Structure formats: structure tokens, C-alpha cells
Amino acid sequence: MSFNDGEDVRPKPDATPARAKDLSGRFGLRLAVWYAVLFIGSSFAIVLITYVLTSSSLAQRDHEIIQAKLGEYATVYARGGLRALAATVEAEQRTSRERVYVRVLDGGSEAVLLSNAEGWDPSALEIGTASLLDGTIVQVGRSTEARNDILGRFRASLGLITFSIIVIALTGGWILTQSAVQPIRRLSTAVRHIIATGRTDERVAVAAEDDAISELTLLFNAMLDRIEGLVRGMRAALDNVSHDLRTPLTHLRGTAELALAAEPDADRYREALADAVEGTDRVLVMLNTLMDISEAESGAMPLHREQLDLKDAAERALELYREVADAKDVALEMGVANGAMVMADRVRIEQVAANLIDNAIKYTPAGGRVIVDVESLDGRSLLRVSDTGVGIAAPELPRIWDRLFRGDRSRTTRGLGLGLSLVKAIVEAHGGTVGVTSEPGKGSVFSVSLATAGPAARGDS
């Protein structure tokens, strides 16, 4: 963790906002264009298909009428020859509302019958042809004028419809995308304001609609909550650390001042400097431990969680302290040693076990015993460090987890009063709990409880 001494680490207020505004505007335009293109394209396809189907069904109808007529005339010709056919055509010409176009060609392609000769214009007629058995060819024409007229009107209406569709697509697209981009704009305006003012206590209003933007807003607010918590934790850590370091630093300064104030004397200086070196080391250790505690308490401590057996962590810590225990003539051993899997940071958990074992040896007189148990019970993995040491007086029990607290009887032993605070902070950062029972003169039992990790539990935090 590092602190920036007085430097303003807030982002430059206007670097992000202009770009954000620009981006949501461009996003809106892109959305509108896509919407309009899709809408116009699909509407145009529908209009085109309708036109083609109408036109071909009209042509099909003409074709069927002509074919029916040809069949009828072929029958009349077969029964009564050209004369009967001419009579039928003539009769039809008189009675029909439509003009009748009929042409009969003999085998030598000579027109032997032609009704409406002046109107026989192949470019304005749909013509059907039938060859009869004797080589005569009968042709029936139907004017395409009416059909073209219908299609012409149809085209005009379709043009109008297409124009309306384009107008609707453009305005609809614009309105729709504006309303889609609006919540994004609101969100980016709020974010811009927060960036500009640096006020992490502000929150973005969540829209009533239950959509992706609302979810994004909720996540953004949750992120601000987290950042705010971390910043608050950091501030508290800074306050605590500066407060806690004041005493040892004042002491250090006092030593130097005393040495300077006295008569110049090399031995005295040497002693004062040695004191200062020792004091500085102490302050450094204290500073590091205090920062660790603060990080763990504020949730800023990076935990590299992995599947880990508490038993292995306990055994490793126990090996570290074997020599210390032997030197003090304290028996140090594993008691219950069952597998107890947890998802935890190996280094930190070993640190927890080591601190508890260190204390147990420290506060147990020669000839005593320290026993480490590990077991898994009801979904919890337990680490227990029991000793036959001096124990803790009841009034002190609730305070032993406080930073810099040292028991009355501990004054003569080395220590900073930070070991148990660190244990508690690390265990709680893992979602676990710590506990203690103690009887003065008989000994103490410190326990750590963590959730047992199932085989499926995985992940980092």
C-alpha cells in the first residue's frame, strides 16, 4: 500500500466527460441509422414483393382468360369452321363491354379473320396463340391497358407508402434511439459529476425500468460503495497508524535529544545510536504490521485464495517454532490432526497459525505444553492452539484483540501488542471467526474457525 504525499490523485475533470458525451451521441446516431436501414430495408422488401405478386397475378389472370377464349374458339372452329368462328367473334364484339381482339391465320400465315384490325398492336396486347389441327392459327389478344393502369396506380401508392415509411423510420429511429441513449447520458452525466467533484458519497439515481442500464447503474453504485468503504478504511488506517506511531517516535526523539543535551561522550552517543537503531527497527515492524491489519480490516488486503488443508498450514507453522519451543523447554506437538479444507490465502493462514503458536510458547513457562489441533466440524474448519501457560485475567480477555494492547503480565516479554489484532483481521477478512477461553494460571485455548471448502469451491478475492 502506498500513500501519495499531498499530490492530487483525482483525474483531470474534463478529460473523460467530453469523450463520454461524444461517444453516447455517436452511439445514438449509429443506433438510429441501423434502425432506419433495417426498417426501410424490410418495408421496401415487403412493398416490392407485394408489387411483384400483384403484377404477376394480374398477368396470370389475363393469361387464363385468353387460354379459355382460345379453347372456346377452337371448339367453335372445329364444329363450324371459319364461318362459325367469325360469327361467334362478331356476336361477342357486339355484346362484350371489352374490345375483342381475334386473329386467325391460315396455314400460309395469311390473316383470314381479324377483328378490331386497327387495335391489333402486339405491344399493347397480351396475345395467346393456339394451333389447330388443320394448321390454322388462332390468336386472341387482350389489352394490357387496364392492367398497366392498375399497376401504375399501385406504383404511385407504393411510392407514397415508401416515402411515408422512410419518414416514419427516420423520425421513429431518432425518437427511439434518443430514448435508448437517454439513460446512458444520465449515467455518464452523473459519473462525470462524481469524477469532477471527487465525491464518492454521491449515487446515481436508478431508473424505474428493470433493464440493463438500471443494472449497470446499480453495479456502478455498488462499486462506489466499495470504493467509499476502502477509502474510509484507508483514512482510518492512516489515522490509526499515525496515532500509534507517535509514542515510539517520540521515544526515539527523546533518546536522541537526551544524548545531544548531555556532555559530549562517545560511549553515550554509541548507546543512544544503538537505542535509536533498535527503536527504528521496532517502528518499522510496527508500521508494517499496522498496515497489514488496516488492509485486512478495510478489505484491501489481496487474498490469493486456494484450496488449502489447515492441517498442512498448522504443521508448517509448528515446524517453524520447534527450535524456539525446545530452547524454552516447552513441549510443542500436534494433537487432533484431521484434514480440514478451506479456501484461503496460504501465506496469511500460516501467519495466523504462527502468531498463535508464538504467543502460546511465549506465555507458557518452561516445562509446559502447547498443543495444536485441526479438525472439521459441521461445515467449519477449526484450528486450535492450547497452552498450559499463564492464562489471561477475565477483565483483559475482551481487550486482547485490540491493537497495541498488552496484558499486565506481558510487560516483561517481547512483543508489540499487534499479533492477535493481525490474527483477527486476517481471519475475519477470510470470513472466519476467532475465539479464546482462558484460565489464569492454567492456560489458554485460542481458536480459529473458517468455512470448510467443498470440492466445488473455487475463486479469488
- Residue written as cell 368462328? 85
Residues 6+ apart with CB under 8 A from 179: none
- Our measurement of the distance from residue 362's CA atom to the centroid of its chain's CA atoms, rounded to an integer in Å, reads 50
Member of 417, 424, 425, 430 binding ligand ADP (CB under 6 A): 417
x/- site string to ligand ADP, residues 306 to 345, per CB under 6 A? ----------------------------------------
Distance, CA of 286 to CA of 100 (rounded, Å): 115
249 or 436: CB nearest ligand ADP? 436
257 or 278: CB nearest ligand ADP? 278
Taking contact as CB under 6 A, which single stretch among the options 50-58, 188-196, 284-292, 355-363 is the one that binds ligand ADP? 355-363
Taking contact as CB under 6 A, which single stretch among the options 104-112, 189-197, 340-348, 412-420 is the one that binds ligand ADP? 412-420
Shortest distance in whole angstroms from residue 441 CB to ligand ADP: 11
Taking contact as CB under 6 A, which single stretch among the options 51-59, 268-276, 305-313, 401-409 is the one that binds ligand ADP? 401-409
Q: How many residues are recorded in the chain? A: 461
C-alpha cell at 244: 500509534
**Nearest one of 447, 461, 422, 425 to 343, comparing CA atoms:** 461
**Nearest one of 419, 427, 414 to 402, comparing CA atoms:** 419
Q: Is 418 in the site for ligand ADP (CB under 6 A)?
A: yes
Q: Is 351 in the site for ligand ADP (CB under 6 A)?
A: no
Shortest distance in whole angstroms from residue 259 CB to ligand ADP: 28
- Residue written as cell 502468531? 355
Residue 168: how many CB atoms within 10 A of its CB?
A: 14
Residues 6+ apart with CB under 8 A from 302: none
State which amino acid sits at residue 165: I
Q: Is residue 307 within 8 Å of residue 321, measured between CB atoms?
A: no
**Nearest one of 226, 214, 280, 211 to 248, comparing CA atoms:** 280
Q: What is the rounded end-to-end Cα distance, in angstroms, of the chain? A: 17
Q: Is 89 in the site for ligand ADP (CB under 6 A)?
A: no
Member of 286, 342, 420, 434 binding ligand ADP (CB under 6 A): 420
Q: Is 283 in the site for ligand ADP (CB under 6 A)?
A: no
Member of 28, 128, 419, 432 binding ligand ADP (CB under 6 A): 419
Q: Is 425 in the site for ligand ADP (CB under 6 A)?
A: no
Binders of ligand ADP: how many residues, by CB under 6 A? 21
Q: Is 372 in the site for ligand ADP (CB under 6 A)?
A: no
Residues lying near ligand ADP in the complex (CB under 6 A): 359-360, 363, 387, 389-392, 400, 405-407, 410, 415-421, 444
